[in-house]
Structure 1
């Protein structure tokens, strides 16, 4: 009897082909279906979103909301009433402000806007590279990289990315590098800054350090590791991305979309404090899984 029941149960699993978390996903779909009208009504309204975003950095009067949105009081007031009835905003002493629920909602909206904006602004960069290498917790905050530029090597400037790297480290007091490749030219530039007293940390993979120790460039690695203002950390498994982040700037490089070849000809660069903070956290994320290299 038990064998028969088990056979029937197994055949049902094979028939449905449902993954173990199917119930959870179905529940989320059901939840969306129940509140779909509210979500669509909110995002269809340009004014409602603009009002929430305007209040994100502090209280505003009706006059200020008119100036920010470019709309009349007659157009604004019905939207304000709708947001008030949804407990997203309130008024006190003739000034509007977000409620606790409204603050959380507005932060989520800002995250969506920034994420969509940065992926659209640099769509070619993300489409042509292995962006899956960026950990999910950092990818969801990709909007922090909005104020950035794509630096490319071109036919008339084949060292554009490299020279940008030189300018970047020359203007820095601290340098943190995560490098999936070995480049004598980059190493020489970093050594120059170390000799000038700049603090440098380098994260490299176990396989790469093994290759370097067998190469003619071992003396440079020896010098990197011997300076008091320089440290090398080793990762068991190197992520498929490159990162240079300083106290002022960030440069992010990715593998090509095949996930096999590192693209040395293209970097995302930014001096925006939000982008720099994002890069510093990403570096620390990988450093937490590394061990210091000693000769």
Structure 2
């Protein structure tokens, strides 16, 4: 995300963010006051910093109209609350990236639109599952186990995979899956139509909804009411099924639903 500066004058938003990020104390005070007002002693107990240092930060934030004092209690102004919200998102985004930085650094993330990269904080509790030399199918088997316990799934499918198709068909036949929606590229859809087996078992299955897209997104996303998984491509364009992000929180499911709807509307 770029910050536009006109005539060498900082925008108010840029100035406020710079004002906070150049002082860890100002940032910490905003975060501490985010959910509730507190007095000096309560702030000091949480931050474990000297009163003089905290008071200096409080006065700076009050002068910037980011917090206010009512008797002995300090609380955020509307501007302070909005800025604190964005700072917390930034911190959580950084945490999400750092927690699984090998996964993000080693893969092509161009299939994740900017607005969803900016919301990676929603995946801050995600688990990374990796296959190993002793268990090459660990990620794939974990994925299949998640599917077995699902009744309704949605999927962005960027690859033509016989293994995935066979397992999905098995789940449909055994009544594990009640409905499935798959977003696929026109190229993959065309290839599936050439297979009599896939045409009969998937494409003409009343439990399956196929949505065709012109382009092929570089993300393999699956989610249900209970989980979401994400696998990506290596930067050399080869699909990687050895590492998978799993998230089961409400925030993670919301992120997955948004990404799915983004491509559904393409």
Alignment TM-score > 0.5, same fold: yes
Query: Is the 8 Å Cα contact of residues 126 and 245 (structure 2) preserved in structure 1?
Result: yes
Instruction: Write 1 or 2 for the structure with the bigger share of helix.
Output: 1
Listed as ranges, the matches of 1:247-266 within 5 Å are 247-258=225-236, 260-266=237-243
Structure 1 segments unaligned to the other structure (5+ residues): 1-23, 290-295
- Decide which of 54, 61, 64 is 1:76's aligned counterpart: 54
Say what the alpha-carbon RMSD is for the aligned residues: 2.6
Listed as ranges, the matches of 1:58-77 within 5 Å are 58-77=36-55
The 1:119–1:45 alpha-carbon spacing in structure 2 relative to 1, beyond 3 Å, is same
Q: Which residue of 2 aligns with 1:168?
A: 146
TM-score for the superposition, normalised by structure 2: 0.87
Larger Rg: 1
What's the CA shift for 1:196?
3.0
Q: Which residue of 2 aligns with 1:285?
A: 262
Aligned residue pairs, count? 263
Listed as ranges, the matches of 1:100-139 within 5 Å are 100-139=78-117
Comparing 78-87 and 180-189, the one that deviates more: 180-189
Listed as ranges, the matches of 1:138-217 within 5 Å are 138-194=116-172, 195-215=175-195
Deviations 1:115-174 (A, max 9, x none): 222222222112211112211111121222221122212111111111111122223332
What's the CA shift for 1:114?
2.0
Query: Is the 8 Å Cα contact of residues 241 and 262 (structure 1) preserved in structure 2?
Result: no
Partner SS for 1:133: coil
TM-score for the superposition, normalised by structure 1: 0.79
> CA–CA distance in 2 between the matches of 1:137 and 1:35?
18
What's the CA shift for 1:34?
10
Query: Is the 8 Å Cα contact of residues 127 and 257 (structure 1) preserved in structure 2?
Result: no
Structure 2 segments unaligned to the other structure (5+ residues): none
